[in-house]
Amino acid sequence: MWVALASDHGGFRLKKEIIVFLRQEGIAFHDLGPFSEEAVDYPDYALMVAEVVRKGDFEQGILCCGTGIGMVIAANKIPGVRAALCHDCFSARMAREHNDANILTLGQRVIGNGLAIEIVRTWLKAEFQGGRHARRVAKITAMEQKYGKE
């Protein structure tokens, strides 16, 4: 597994906690920034992660900001990206199993570090179930194509 991650200033500390977890678990990752808590614009970092996931350079991505909302909106503008904002383990598992989400977004100001790590663990372990869910994901891809995202 190869994971790209990034944050804005509002999710910087949570990203650092996730990096510790990924290292402990032996999960390969690349931190795309930022590298301090200095204010930055979340769409820039959402775009970086979304582009490398879309191209297939990374299997999955994780984005953190204050609420996770800005990141999920920005990442989902990129064709082929299915970003999911999750603040509980059930949603994280369903995002992978049913929606084949390839980017997870989290809100540092919404959840604590312990829960965030459990969400990341759950999301990374879950696998897309395919079947009837594949048909639905294909419809999302068709919507992207119809409305000019690809």
Active site annotation includes 98: yes
Active site annotation includes 133: no
The catalytic residue among 30, 87, 89, 98 is 98
Torsion-angle region of 2 (φ positive above 0: left; ψ -120 to 50: alpha; else: beta): beta
The catalytic residue among 65, 86, 87, 89 is 65
Confirm if 107 and 79 have CB atoms less than 8 A apart. Answer: no
| Catalytic residue annotation | 65, 98
